[in-house]
Copies of this chain bind each other. A is one copy, B any other.
């Protein structure tokens, strides 16, 4: 017993283990647990494990996988191994998997399972049930819905398994089937597929080609992974970097630094404009150093409000709540929001300077005018930040980029330069001839 490891123990330790230790750990599982454990792994880990198995064992494990999962595993393995892994499958499965591999990983065809429950419209319920019992023995893994096809594989309708099961045995399938079916096109992007699932609350959706012929089903358990994956991508981009393509602790260090350094350097180059802008105002700063004190406060407020606005819009776009043509409704809301938020921060800033005990020493005798400059600049910067932050995702999407790239740091960088310009312009209006 001492040698036996439980599935849960291994699952917990998994992320921390090296490839070789993983194989060791895996060998310590009882046979029944090993099967379950293998099937519960992500395709990436399954591929890794498969490739450290001795040749002879690989076949067994590959054949345990459903066609869509086998296709995922092959896609995760190095290209040189693809043909070898494919050859391990039985003939039928190999044909199915090869067909799946021709789709991109992130389109509906790449997610679909070609094995689904099918019946003919003219069958009676009793005939359909015994036909399904035969299919279940041979090749199905799951039955949620039964699809009604004609001889050319055109999708005519769908019946939920429960409905089929509850109907009187003598009725015909076509009498109980629903002929308005929500379908997915083969090339549909996985994010669009996940929005369809969210909209219709279904367990599976049929994939059809351009001629209406059924190719397979996408099931909602694959969609949970898609939703997580897409959210992770967006979150990484919102954080101001390229999306990592693996778990944080497992990803290669050099690879991670590369993904972060790219955006960080781009933002740095953009932010250099602030040094240039500051150069223009060097004389103003020399004459009134007090102005320099509020620079970080003002530009960061613009950045923060911009970050809020862009994040809201990015997420609403990803959920399909806001579309490109809604930009006008968004900007109208954000102009009001920007004014309101700017007024709140402006008031806090004004109060802070006017009530500060040592105001006259720190900010000079014209502290009230300085306070006014800061407050007015805050309204301007927050308003500008809000508008820029909310419109940037629209502009990016319109130009064909991912709106999630309108990250908090990107917006902040954009807004920093304009914040400086707003601040010094306001200052030159209010303070010209007094301290400037």
Which A residues from 153 to 195 make CB contacts under 8 A with B?
160-162, 165-166, 180, 194
Partner of A272, one of B249, B282, B290, B297: B297
The verdict on A267 contacting B316 (CB below 8 Å), with A249-B322, A261-B341, A322-B249 known, is no
Q: Which residue of B247, B265, B330, B407 is within 8 Å of A348 (Cβ)?
A: B265
Give 1 or 0 for each of A265-307: 1 = CB within 8 Å of chain B CB. Answer: 1011101101100110010011001101111110111011101
Asked whether A248 and B412 contact (CB < 8 A) given A235-B311, A311-B238, the answer is no
Residue pair A136, B166 in contact (C-beta under 8 Å): yes
* B234–A219 touching, CB < 8 Å: no
CA distance A340 to B227 in the complex (A): 32
Instruction: Tell whether A360 is near chain B: CB-to-CB under 8 Å.
Output: no
**Which of B141, B160, B256, B407 is the one whose CB lies under 8 Å from A162?**
B141
Q: Please name the residue on chain B nearest to A416 by beta carbon.
A: B296
Contacts of A247 in B (CB 8 A): 316, 319, 321
Is A420 an interface residue, CB under 8 A from the partner?
yes
Point out the residues of chain B lying under 8 angstroms from A333, CB to CB: 249, 253, 256
Q: Is A20 an interface residue (CB 8 A)?
A: no
B293 A279 Cβ-Cβ under 8 A: yes
Contact A224–B265 (Cβ < 8 Å): no
In the assembled complex, which residues on chain B have CB atoms less than 8 Å from the CB atom of A235?
231, 234-235, 238, 311, 314-315
In the complex the two chains form, is B322's CB within 8 Å of A248's CB?
Answer: yes
Would you list 10 pairs from A and B whose C-beta atoms are within 8 A, ordered by A residue? Answer: A36-B180, A144-B203, A253-B336, A267-B300, A272-B352, A275-B294, A282-B290, A286-B289, A304-B412, A308-B409
The 9 lowest CB-CB distance pairs between A and B, nearest first, are A239-B311, A231-B231, A408-B408, A274-B296, A248-B316, A136-B166, A304-B409, A278-B293, A247-B321
Residues of A within 8 A of B (CB): 11, 15, 32, 36, 39-40, 132-133, 136-137, 140-144, 160-162, 165-166, 180, 194, 197-203, 219-221, 223-225, 227-228, 231-232, 234-236, 238-241, 244, 247-249, 253, 256-257, 260-261, 263-265, 267-269, 271-272, 274-275, 278-279, 282, 285-286, 289-290, 292-297, 299-301, 303-305, 307-308, 310-316, 319, 321-322, 326, 329-330, 333, 336-337, 340-341, 344-345, 348-349, 352, 362, 382, 407-409, 412-413, 416, 420
